[in-house]
Amino acid sequence: MATRPTMESRRDQMFPLLAPQEIDRLRRFGEIRHYAKGEMVLSAGKDVEGLLVILSGEVRIASHHTNDEIVVHAPGSFLGELAHLSGRPSLVDGQAVSDVEAILIAPAHLREVMVAEAEIGERIMRALILRRVRLLEQNVGGPVIVGRADNRDVLRLEGFLARNGHPHERLDPDADGCAKALLERFHVSPAELPIVVCANGTMLRNPSENALARCIGLTRAVDSSKLYDAAIVGSGPAGLAAAVYGASEGLSVIVIDCRAFGGQAGASARIENYLGFPTGISGLALMARAYNQAQKFGAEMIIPDEVRSIGRDTEDGDAFVLLLASGQSIRARSVVIASGAEYRRLSLDNLPDYEGAHVHYWASPLEARLCAGQEVALVGAGNSAGQGAVYLSGVASKVWLIVRGKSLDATMSRYLCDRIAAQPNIEVLVETEIDALEGKDGVLDHVSWRSAGNAETVRRAISHVFLFIGAAPNTGWLAQFGVERDSKGFVLAEALAGENRFPFQTSRRGIFAVGDVRAASIKRVAAAVGEGAQVVSALHAWLADVRDASSAVASTFGART
């Protein structure tokens, strides 16, 4: 059954009208602002000042690129979407149609509204999320990427924006008149594609994810003078759970992720075994909710940036300093390592030639679009492989599921094995391994595999290979600070409190490890979320100890002087 677009089915929730008494309750969180007819209230690419509750007059919201109208806000309505929660740049333009009087609620006060006025806060939060979903559904707002859909850098940039819940538009340089105009305007030759044009007018040539994130205001400069209660490394389920529980319990929290929020879970096409979602939920949708929830409670996000090393603060011996790939540093009284694990790769020499455009580690709608109607090969035998195979079988003509072991039963959940057996276009090849990838100029055209007991290699015309062959932790950077790991690199930290009474604490006091990165953890979303929630009580206990110790030092020092 076709689903109705969000805009149509949820318009009332997306654009609710607040009653006069509700508006009165919001007055104490904001200040009165006036805008003259024709004045820009919001400009795409510029930081938003806060949520605007309209008291009189009207504001027209429109796409920056096309000027197509999205909505006209009238008295009782409020202007804003998720960018207003964190004060990031606006994705759309807003212009006063007549003289406007409004209450401006700054992001920090908006978060207070969410907590102090729960019922109104819930309606506002739902509207902000639905408005972002609507922008994503209709590709309105955000940067414009000019490049071909199957180009590996276009896929990289589109994948980055999609996984961070940021809308964008892609223009095909061969078919789109606007694309041609942009290339002429910026003097770009086809060899230099893709380019990205940001809402603030900046043009980037094939940018890194980091450069793109800076240009569109997704990531911010870190305040290196601020001392956070907790720095959380990784925004997968474990890190986001620690952020939600920590920030909601009053801790100042900063989360750093080198890719996108959601971690491995964000790559899951459909999570069916997470408590409370009987019909399943896409990993990205589940993680986007957690990401917004953490921001609602005031957790700060630095995405994308990588934590490269950890050390002691030279000014405050009780604090830690994290050094980031961007050269910035973060100071915190405690650190939660929630850096999960990274996908494993096949050991084929020419694998890097095809990664990105033809060899994939995710099966999202972006990748699915590329292999519609074609045969694909998918390697793996765990639940992630099963989910990927089922998802791709809906678009590909055939999915060859290549399994090294003797069967799927030992490694994949029963419900997925049954679903695979019921799909006529999935063929499972056990005791089989890919032994060659062939192609030209980075374009994969054939894949070969060999099965045990079969001397002959099978060679098929396949252009897309999906690898779901497990993951290993990337924790080398912790070794230099003496954080102990097991032989596979997983961080040693016990879930139960030991002698030092801090569960999840590593061999370094004040540094904790949760989720997939922790040795002996259960590699599941629910387990990671549980550990992220639990570690917060250990953080409270640790922070109280640090405070007691420093006040003891202060009083001793005070008594002597």
Ligand X SMILES: Cc1cc2nc3c(=O)[nH]c(=O)nc-3n(C[C@H](O)[C@H](O)[C@H](O)COP(=O)(O)OP(=O)(O)OC[C@H]3O[C@@H](n4cnc5c(N)ncnc54)[C@H](O)[C@@H]3O)c2cc1C
Question: Which positions lie near ligand X, rule CB under 6 A?
Answer: 233-239, 256-259, 263-265, 267-268, 271, 273, 306-307, 338-341, 383-384, 387, 474, 515-517, 523-526, 528
Question: Which residues, 6 or more positions from 97, have their beta carbon under 8 angstroms from its beta carbon?
Answer: 37, 57, 58, 59, 60, 72
- CA 32 to chain centroid, in Å, comes to 35
Query: How many Cα atoms sit within 13 Å of 9 on the Cβ side?
Result: 7
Backbone angles phi, psi at 542, to 5 degrees: -65, -45
Can you tell me the distance from the alpha carbon of 81 to that of 297, in angstroms, rounded to the nearest whole number?
16
Can you tell me the distance from the alpha carbon of 36 to that of 57, in angstroms, rounded to the nearest whole number?
10
| Tokens, residue 41 | 């209230």
**Toward ligand X, which CB reaches closer, 94 or 340?**
340
Q: How far is the CB of 338 from ligand X (least distance, A)?
A: 5
Q: Is the dihedral of CA 56, 32, 97, 61 positive or negative?
A: negative
* Contact present, 54 and 119 (Cβ < 8 Å): no
Q: What is the dihedral of CA 387, 390, 392, 396, to 10 degrees?
A: 160
Q: How far is the CB of 252 from ligand X (least distance, A)?
A: 19
**29: nearest Cα among 112, 85, 136, 115:** 112
**Toward ligand X, which CB reaches closer, 93 or 209?**
209
**Toward ligand X, which CB reaches closer, 125 or 213?**
213
Ranges of beta strands (E only) in 359-429 are 359-360, 375-379, 398-402, 426-429
Q: How far is the CB of 204 from ligand X (least distance, A)?
A: 22
**Toward ligand X, which CB reaches closer, 93 or 367?**
367
Q: How far is the CB of 344 from ligand X (least distance, A)?
A: 11
Q: How far is the CB of 280 from ligand X (least distance, A)?
A: 8
**Longest Cα separation, the chain:** 86
Can you tell me the distance from the alpha carbon of 248 to that of 61, in angstroms, rounded to the nearest whole number?
33
Would you give the DSSP letter of residue 52? E
Alpha helices in 221-275 (DSSP H): 237-248
Q: How far is the CB of 152 from ligand X (least distance, A)?
A: 20
SS3 string of 505-524? ECCCCCEEECHHHECCCCCC
Q: How far is the CB of 233 from ligand X (least distance, A)?
A: 5
**Toward ligand X, which CB reaches closer, 86 or 339?**
339
**Toward ligand X, which CB reaches closer, 13 or 413?**
413
**Toward ligand X, which CB reaches closer, 63 or 164?**
164
**Toward ligand X, which CB reaches closer, 14 or 260?**
260
Q: How far is the CB of 451 from ligand X (least distance, A)?
A: 25
**Toward ligand X, which CB reaches closer, 23 or 256?**
256
* Contact present, 270 and 285 (Cβ < 8 Å): no
* Contact present, 159 and 362 (Cβ < 8 Å): yes
Using DSSP bridges, classify how beta strands 398-402 and 426-429 pair: parallel, antiparallel or unpaired.
parallel
Q: How far is the CB of 288 from ligand X (least distance, A)?
A: 13
Q: How far is the CB of 301 from ligand X (least distance, A)?
A: 11
Q: How far is the CB of 264 from ligand X (least distance, A)?
A: 4
User: Residue 66, class by beta-carbon neighbours within 10 Å (0-12 exposed, 13-18 middle, 19+ buried)?
Assistant: exposed
CA distances from 515 to 25, 138, 340, 471, 553 (A): 41, 35, 6, 13, 35
Q: How far is the CB of 502 from ligand X (least distance, A)?
A: 19
Q: Is the dihedral of CA 512, 513, 515, 521 positive or negative?
A: negative
Using DSSP bridges, classify how beta strands 59-62 and 51-56 pair: parallel, antiparallel or unpaired.
unpaired
**Toward ligand X, which CB reaches closer, 197 or 267?**
267
**Toward ligand X, which CB reaches closer, 190 or 365?**
365
**Toward ligand X, which CB reaches closer, 50 or 473?**
473
